[in-house]
A and B are shown apart, each in its own frame.
Chain A
């Protein structure tokens, strides 16, 4: 498997709060990464830096061997992103949001978008502002999937989803994407959800990765559930 993304010495400070510090990560293509961390540990910050929403204060990020900087946009055509807070343009309709996004992504899959709307029971004529948080998350997911990304960043996307959709999402969609070779970075603090899908485990604590290891190896070493492993790891470092 080839290296898709490399992050070196990444740092980000908010006021006096050093959220990321000397953060390193190498992402190989076609794998599912599970990024665990407690609230406020920097999972969303990392996702936003990778998506070019906010600038890093230091370090560098390379995608497919090319360094990317804040302000670059071309690489994002191959990225999918489902944010933690599903804030879209609320005056748009569901179809309007999809049409708006379709112009940005050369590999936009209209059929996929239509089938996902049906799958998630989203009415194309509904205004985004009238949707519930869960429906907005589904819409965000539909947009991200229709872009046919090579690298999909999921920033705690399941917290607002109902149980059947969450099951559907975790069981079917993620596996389907993984099977098609899409690299996935799944950031969450809901540990048990990762257990069924993750291939490589990343644990973020104190601004750095304290675990970057194949999940099977971790499980074999600790002989415990992921939740217990995570708690013990974070407790050890604290």
Chain B
């Protein structure tokens, strides 16, 4: 029965099919005749992908029930011993196979002719879609979608022309509107900006809406009275409305739940008083290790990359984006107490009365130790030459008042002509000065530490050829020392040293330790009391490749407490960032070669290993808080937690 109906449809619609095929052949032939005119060839490809296939699909779909209406044969067809759903599927299959046959022409050309591939790739760029494959799947899916919509609607009305335009309007408007809403509302930051997000969301939306149309159409056909057009239309609407809502909910769920590279993110860890603080694209979170509980401190979409927490753990500053449209995005700066209370916007849309430049973004944030002030570094020094830029350095009270700019310093911030990168490191001298790290190029690259006197509003270079020894936590737990790497001679070895914030003097701590022969190659990890540091050191070997060792140094005696060879692989060594366990009783090292956490006891002898979960594909960023080890997964931007005592894993985010 299906075959009989399928063949009947093919015979009925053959004229339309061959007419469309003829147009396609003409367009293809035109490609060969216009070989010398690349621009016209390109527009012809656009015409085929953007106009021909969608309209061919619309015309085929709109003709779905044309014969039954025009010839009054619907009563005859429905009186045959065949299910109405079979009628629907046979008709749809016939029309879909016609569209597939039309696409087959393009697929063959696409495979056979590199020129077509290149031009079709151009259409991809035109539509600002980014997909892995150059093949224009978007056009294929779009035409399939329009075929479904037009076919579904064709059973409601006898006039194909009306159906065609209704399907065109509904087919474009519905997914576009719902896609826009779904992206803006739950999709959050990057939903509009990330090309990886745009196409998949739109395609998912189209597929779900097409299913809603198809299901409503089948149900209407199976249950409604064709002799009463008004009842037929109402029946369709009654089925379609809830299905459309389901389709939109499905799109929203997909937008929320599916991780998309570049949109979902997790970063900026801070540890304070046994709690871990982190930021995702859903907001700011606090993980209490003792209670094993996650607290949502601040909800927000479009969270930016700026982040700071004061050393006493009282306040958090973070950036966010207020996205009205793709072209209307405002960066905001927020401050919230560590318990989630007192959320306050420092500046953003409509509150820029203090002159924060509209075109500048926030590069870095630093809250003073007492939590009352926040230093803000703007991107203006990187974007513009000195003459045309506003001040890069700003100060504000964390209660949202007194936003003010500090005088620009071209020596510190560069003149805009060469690469210059600055970051805020620490408030020093009881909050009177800011320590900044500066890297600049071209070659030879320079690395300096700078001191900016907030009261005197001047900066001076404190140390040349020096950088912080750790990206995330270079400052000792008591806030008095800064771990730095210091190069005493050009091209000489980088030595580990400590900068005292009170005296601004440096103490070389590697001269008399094992590090004298090595090179720090990982983040420095301070023990909770600030008496010891642990890191991975690269040791040169006279015979064979370098080895990477886990090193523990005592600051008091300036001696090496332990040294253990870990690996010869540089790639593996870069992930061996050691972390101290609670109370500083031992160390935990993330070992990707062994796919495990390696636990070292008080005498730094390995006492245990905990295997990593298989779903944790690309672990990095080990952080110990209480008895829990937190690890991020770079592939999925997820956060995992391991109970070091129970040796159990769970996913926090």
Chain A interface residues (CB < 8 Å from chain B): 14-15, 48, 51-55, 70-71, 73-77, 79, 81, 83, 85, 87-92, 100-101, 103-105, 129
Contacts and interface: CB of A to CB of B under 8 A. Distances in A.
A81 B12 CA distance: 24
Contacts of B79: 48, 51-53, 76, 81, 83
Nearest to B3: A103
Nearest to B83: A73
B46 interface: no
A59 B8 CA distance: 35
A89 B91 CA distance: 15
A122 B84 CA distance: 30
Nearest to A12: B225
B308 to A, nearest CB: 66
A129 B3 CA distance: 23
Contacts of B111: none
Contacts of A105: 81
B231 to A, nearest CB: 9
A54 B227 contact: yes
Interface string B1-25: 1011000100110000000000000
Interface string B449-467: 0000000000000000000
Interface in B51-77: 67, 71-73, 75-76
A73 B224 CA distance: 15
A32 B4 CA distance: 33
B1 A104 contact: yes
Contact of A89 (B8, B81, B84): B8
A71 B73 CA distance: 18
Nearest to A76: B81
Nearest to A85: B72
A103 B4 contact: yes
In the A-B complex, list the 9 residue pairs whose CB atoms are closest, starting with the nearest.
A87-B72, A76-B81, A103-B4, A51-B79, A77-B81, A53-B78, A54-B225, A73-B81, A53-B75
A75 B80 CA distance: 10
Contacts of B84: 71
Given A15-B228, A71-B84, 15 more contacts: A48-B75, A52-B78, A52-B79, A53-B75, A54-B227, A55-B223, A71-B222, A71-B223, A73-B83, A76-B81, A81-B79, A87-B72, A87-B75, A88-B71, A89-B67
Contacts of B71: 87-91, 129
A100 B4 contact: yes
A85 B80 CA distance: 15
Contacts of A15: 228
Chain A at the B interface: mostly helix, strand, loop or mixed? loop
A74 to B, nearest CB: 7
Contacts of B76: 83, 87-89
A100 B8 contact: yes
B82 interface: yes
Residue of B3, B75, B82, B84 most packed against chain A (CB within 10 A): B75
B65 to A, nearest CB: 12
A90 B223 CA distance: 26
A71 B87 CA distance: 12
B226 interface: yes
A224 to B, nearest CB: 36
B75 A104 contact: no
29 contacts: A14-B227, A48-B227, A51-B79, A52-B79, A53-B75, A54-B226, A55-B223, A55-B224, A55-B225, A71-B83, A71-B84, A73-B80, A73-B83, A76-B79, A76-B80, A76-B81, A77-B81, A81-B79, A83-B75, A85-B75, A87-B71, A87-B76, A89-B73, A91-B12, A100-B4, A101-B80, A104-B1, A104-B82, A105-B81
Interface string B562-591: 000000000000000000000000000000
A53 B73 CA distance: 11
A198 B78 CA distance: 28
Nearest to B78: A53
Nearest to B15: A91
Contacts of A90: 71, 73
A233 to B, nearest CB: 28
Nearest to B2: A103
Nearest to B224: A55
A15 B225 CA distance: 12
Nearest to A79: B81
Contacts of B224: 55
Contacts of B83: 71, 73
Contacts of A79: 81
Contacts of B11: 91
A92 B76 CA distance: 14
Nearest to A81: B79
A87 B81 contact: no
Nearest to B71: A90
Interface in B591-634: none
A29 to B, nearest CB: 19
Contact of A104 (B4, B67, B227): B4
A74 B81 CA distance: 6
Contacts of B225: 54-55
Given A91-B12, A103-B1, A73 B82 contact: yes
Interface string B222-240: 1111111000000000000
B114 to A, nearest CB: 43
